[in-house]
Structure 1
């Protein structure tokens, strides 16, 4: 079981003022933790620190009790990030984007084919498997990114605003899939500005004015 812990962490970019100050939070296996706040409150910044993309200025970020390290180290420890901008290669198909990611993290080609098919079916994109990403709608691209994240079978799944372009039915489906990830023992963190999505999570950490406070614990 893999928890993610931030202890008295300050986060910022360059030499500017910190975006977040003195954040202490533990994301636990088997739960979905919501990170909420308005645009610019620091939700992506916080997920970036949990993903190994942003080193803290002060404090510590640990995974399963050990220092997280950089993004490569985090990937090696099963930390999956589903980014807000989807991070998909436009010149590859939906299926290729997923298969490449599975193989890059140690899966065999056969395993990649199976996991890709399962993940695309789970988000309702089986029929778009062989379409280029640039041919898909914004909502379909978002679901393809979610499928890639699911196919990686992460110990930690960090989902950044992954329901922002989805209709109600697909949003509900994605939230159910994230819950299923937690049910299998993963640590799931969902950054969202959607109060209905946050309400379906186990706990809610709210970001405002550079501080993190518990809205629901």
Structure 2
């Protein structure tokens, strides 16, 4: 599996107004890093930089010492992003959203179907497989996005506030699934407001006003 390295990364949406300043952290295979901090601290910005969606103004994000050029390069390096807004196509069913992503990633259709069934079952969504995303509740949509992300079997898995819409039972289930991803050998990064979820991770990077501090 692969190591994710963030080396002295600064990200700015506007010149001279950095959102992140000189952030460095290494996430090894089998580890879960919690990224914590108040709203506006830069958690999503950091995950987007890790995913190749944002180019740092300074510093590098690398997978196994190879600096990421853009999102396409990150996808090729098996960097999976589960976004906070779920990123699902509302006019497709839950299972279609997963299968389309898997086939686009190179899976054979039959393999994509099998993995989709398994992933939806793991998230308690077997009964919603044929429902349109727009017909699902907010929590069901979030779990579908998680199911899609897990089905892709990333070497690096980035999860952005993926438990925010879930009840306590499903939050616990998602944490167990992220821990399974780490045991599989993935490097997992989990942005969260939840202190209990953060405590269940191996390490914690706390952001405040764009400055990062490793808490543990």
Per-residue deviation at 1:16? Answer: 5.2
Give 1:51-130 correspondences, 5 Å limit: 51-130=51-130
C-alpha distance in structure 2 between counterparts of 1:121 and 1:213, whole Å: 37
Per-residue deviation at 1:111? Answer: 0.5
C-alpha distance in structure 2 between counterparts of 1:108 and 1:63, whole Å: 26
Per-residue deviation at 1:14? Answer: 3.5
4+ residue stretches of structure 1 with deviation over 3 A? none
Secondary structure (helix, strand or coil) at the match of 2:185 reads coil
Q: TM-score, normalised by structure 2?
A: 0.99
Q: TM-score, normalised by structure 1?
A: 0.98
Q: Report Cα offsets for 1:38-87 as digits up to 9, x if no partner.
A: 11100000000000000110111111111111001100110000000000
Contact 2:42–2:209 (8 Å) recurs in 1: no
Contact 2:55–2:70 (8 Å) recurs in 1: yes
Secondary structure (helix, strand or coil) at the match of 1:60 reads strand
Per-residue deviation at 1:15? Answer: 2.6
Equivalent in the alignment of 2:146: 146
C-alpha distance in structure 1 between counterparts of 2:128 and 2:73, whole Å: 32
Give 1:155-174 correspondences, 5 Å limit: 155-174=155-174
Aligned residue pairs: how many? Answer: 216
Equivalent in the alignment of 2:46: 46
C-alpha distance in structure 2 between counterparts of 1:157 and 1:6, whole Å: 15
Secondary structure (helix, strand or coil) at the match of 1:59 reads strand
Structure 1 spans left out of the alignment, 5+ residues = none
Q: Report Cα offsets for 1:10-56 as digits up to 9, x if no partner.
A: 01214350001011111111011000001110000000000000011
